[in-house]
């Protein structure tokens, strides 16, 4: 398996992610959108920061179950239920400082959305990995 991450010269500089991720792999791992739900099914406490921490934990658990890790991630889509750019920036900063951080050096999209699937849910992350 090989993963090549590039930023073509004709595109703007990025804050840590890459515009293009090219993958040659035997196995592709698609995670369902990871929500801030604890193993009990309860929404994680602690507002945006607490929910983001739970999503990080959930993604690491799901990746590990597939034999993958953060460096195997080839695409992420991050959904934050907020119109406030400061909230989006706070989530991005928390993700990059976490053990999942290497996953966000790849092709990534960060979106502010009106609402997510569960009442009170503030963040969800969709992840694709390659092995």
Mean pLDDT of 88-117: 97
Model confidence pLDDT, tens digit, residues 19-50:
998 988 899 999 999 999 999 999 999 999 99
Model confidence pLDDT, tens digit, residues 54-101:
999 999 999 999 999 999 999 999 999 999 999 999 999 999 999 999
Quick one: pLDDT at residue 15?
Answer: 85
Domain 2-130 class, CATH top level: alpha beta
Please list, residue by residue across 96-118, b when 16 or more beta carbons sit within 10 angstroms of its beta carbon and e when fewer do.
Answer: bebebeebbbbbbebeeeeebee
pLDDT for residue 107 is more than 90: yes
The domain limits of the chain are 2-130
Q: How confident is the model at residue 102 (pLDDT cuts 50, 70, 90)?
A: very high
């Amino acid at each position: 398996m090989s993963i090549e991450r590039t930023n073509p010269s004709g595109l703007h500089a990025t804050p840590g992610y890459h515009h293009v991720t090219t993958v040659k792999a035997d196995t592709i791992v698609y995670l369902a959108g990871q929500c801030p739900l604890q193993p009990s099914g309860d929404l994680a406490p602690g507002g945006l920061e607490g929910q983001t921490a739970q999503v990080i934990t959930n993604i690491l658990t799901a990746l590990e179950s597939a034999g993958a890790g953060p460096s195997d991630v080839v695409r992420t889509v991050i959904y934050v239920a907020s119109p406030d750019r400061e909230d989006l920036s706070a989530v991005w900063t928390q993700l990059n400082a976490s053990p999942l951080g290497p996953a966000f050096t790849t092709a990534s999209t960060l979106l502010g959305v009106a609402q997510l699937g569960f009442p009170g849910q503030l963040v969800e992350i969709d992840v694709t990995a390659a092995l």
